[in-house]
Amino acid sequence: MDVFLWVALALLVLGVVGSVLPLLPGALLSVVGVVVYWVSTGFSEPGPIAFVGLTLVGLVALVTDYAGGMVAARFGGASTRTSIVAGVVGFLLMFLIGPLGIFVGVAGTVFALEYVDHQDAEESGRRALVATVGVLATAAVQALLTFSMLVGFVLTVVL
């Protein structure tokens, strides 16, 4: 097997792992894996339809990665400002205290800002819970999307 095929497969596997581990850009690694192999084959493998399909799945996973938590917070009733601030705080705390920082940052920020705005602890807690579940759901969706990219790549290129 070609060295670029091995590199692409490694990047796709890392993409699946990175979709559930913070600090590894899972979707981006998966897309890069597909592109590396496609370029190395002179733009012939995977074929154009498979390439576009795999790339689109990767882009959906990428958008899910960066916007999923904020969308979940909005879905739970948090304001746009709260959603954006929670996303930033969760991202920054991830670097300080690891994966737990994402959950603490999102849940704590949503609860605090929504409580300041509405003075309702129960509703603020519900919104924080929905946002936190949304962060977990985002990771699950990313894992499914990046895994489907890996399977699709193997089916179209290797087998």
List pLDDT tens digits, range 50-90: 999 999 999 999 998 878 877 888 888 999 999 999 989 98
What is the pLDDT at residue 89?
Answer: 92
Tokens describing residue 46: 């995977």
Chain centre distance of CA 131: 15
Chain centre distance of CA 20: 8
Number of domains in the chain: 1
pLDDT digits (tens, 9 = 90+) for 29-60: 999 999 999 999 999 999 999 999 999 999 99
What is the pLDDT at residue 111?
Answer: 96
What is the pLDDT at residue 95?
Answer: 87
For the cut 80, the answer to whether the pLDDT of residue 1 exceeds it is no
pLDDT digits (tens, 9 = 90+) for 88-134: 998 899 889 888 888 899 999 999 999 999 999 999 999 999 999 99
DSSP 59-118: HHHHHHHHHHHHHHHHHTT--HHHHHHHHHHHHHHHHHHTHHHHHHHHHHHHHHHHHHHH
Residue-number span of the structural domain to which 73 is assigned:
1-158
